[in-house]
A and B are shown apart, each in its own frame.
Chain A
């Protein structure tokens, strides 16, 4: 597609439930990123995939958060036993594989999924 897409656009769930958030990157982009944006804050990094593997998962806040990208394209962010503090906008971005300096490093963002945990 023309841009990064994310589904659903909004997700309301109850505390303790499990949720899955989906990201479709730009076709041909091998790098995929998940960020989380809380109200009044900038996006915070969660995890980065290069192809199918997680190249950097240092931003995942705890073991309730997990992400996969089994075929190197679509990615799913999974949150177990959701807590009210997980409420935020979850952003996905993609970029061409890094080959050094230049426009390969530009990250293109999707519209986000707004997660509300009641």
Chain B
């Protein structure tokens, strides 16, 4: 069975600080990897995705993530956060080459202070 671990449950940063959110997955096969974001009062939106190729993927709003296969990790990064990045971030995985179900982590609440 697939599982996803997000190590940071609640992160508080000041504006302009750098961000790294951890994500590790467990699955005995090839995977697709995703980061979704949920802004306050809004629905889940895709931030970025990895299917194949370059393990460093860039998403919207200056976010990027690196897939490290040997570590089963897909950490999310942003060099300089903004107050508007305050949201909940979810890492997710599904079986590669399919439209199968997503398995989500428990999420990380990011709070950016002015």
Q: Which A residues contact B (CB, under 8 angstroms)?
A: 31, 33, 35, 40-45, 48, 50, 56, 59, 91, 93, 95-98, 100-112
Which of B60-68, B71-79, B98-106 participates in binding chain A? B98-106
What is the chain A residue whose CB lies nearest that of B101?
A45
Q: Report 14 cross-chain contacts, Cβ distance below 8 Å, ordered by A residue.
A: A31-B99, A33-B101, A35-B102, A41-B106, A43-B104, A50-B99, A59-B101, A98-B100, A105-B32, A105-B51, A106-B46, A109-B36, A109-B43, A112-B43
Chain B residues, Cβ within 8 Å of A42: 4, 90, 92, 104-107
A101:B96 contact, CB within 8 angstroms: yes
- From A33, A41, A101, A110, give the contact of B97 (CB < 8 A): A101
Separation of A97 and B36 alpha carbons in the complex (Å): 20
Nearest chain B CB to A75's CB is how many angstroms away?
Answer: 15
B102:A111 contact, CB within 8 angstroms: no
Separation of A41 and B106 alpha carbons in the complex (Å): 5
Looking at chain B's contact residues, the main secondary structure is loop
Nearest chain B CB to A23's CB is how many angstroms away?
Answer: 12
Chain B residues, Cβ within 8 Å of A103: 49, 51
What is the chain A residue whose CB lies nearest that of B41?
A111
Nearest chain A CB to B68's CB is how many angstroms away?
Answer: 19
The 9 closest A-B pairs by CB, nearest first: A42-B104, A98-B99, A45-B101, A109-B44, A111-B43, A31-B99, A101-B51, A43-B104, A101-B97
B94 on interface, CB distance cutoff 8 Å: yes
